Copies of this chain bind each other. A is one copy, B any other.
């Protein structure tokens, strides 16, 4: 379960990015995240643990510094023991925004899962600190994470997805990243075929879902966020099929949101938002 937000306080924004976000032409998504963290003078903690490249953390450090951050701390964790160090936990607790880079989400879940660092991220978010992540860093944010499965298929399959526990900032949605680019609708549908409770958010590259304290999803970036809502599911054959058999799913609602459109995770209502035509 997500950490409880104390009465009178608002949960922080949760910002999954689909990967490959623009960094050179205005960095619109990262800049909006930075502003949510307080803008000029913000203290950002960057967690590059998913990546095996040394330069990953440095790149974001440079970007947020150029935007005017008061401090950027790159906190890498190579072992689970690292994620128990008081000193590092304190630096998470002091941040006004937390950003998790891409790479392999299983490095994040195996190294951070169940540690004081994971707990600190959850607590910070529950107290209003924005937490963003790109690619693997997006997938890890919610309670149920897609650990692997099919790419390149729009049809759900019995063995089409492997789920694992994530950081658990919320259990309202399941994220899939590089969505359109890697054709992952099938595996996102497979995840919902097990249990339609959560809402699937398929986030394209260079696109982000900005999820506010009121659970409204706002879209930013050049692609789309595909919202898959299986609440009205009439039927799923997931319990009866095995192997690589396709899964029958009846009554799935899909919304393709582009920048400006919104979706509320509580009411499950989509809106054209600023895209709606207005008469002049």
Seen from chain A, the residues whose Cβ lies within 8 Å of a Cβ on chain B are 152-156, 179-180, 183-186, 189, 202, 204, 222-224, 226, 234-235, 237, 239-241, 245-258, 260-261, 270-272, 275-277
Contact = CB atoms under 8 A, between A and B. Distances in A.
Given A155-B226, A248-B256, 11 more contacts: A152-B183, A155-B179, A156-B256, A224-B248, A235-B272, A240-B277, A249-B256, A250-B272, A251-B253, A251-B255, A253-B253
Nearest to A261: B248
A interface: dominant SS: loop
A245 to B, nearest CB: 8
Given A154-B183, A183-B154, A270-B234, A247 B256 contact: yes
A257 to B, nearest CB: 6
Contacts of A246: 204, 222-224, 256, 258
Contact of A186 (B180, B186, B270): B180
B253 A249 contact: no
Contacts of A237: 258, 272, 275
Contact of A255 (B185, B252, B256): B252
A252 B252 CA distance: 8
Contacts of A247: 256, 258
A276 to B, nearest CB: 7
A272 B248 contact: yes
A69 to B, nearest CB: 31
Contacts of A248: 224, 256-258, 260-261, 272, 275
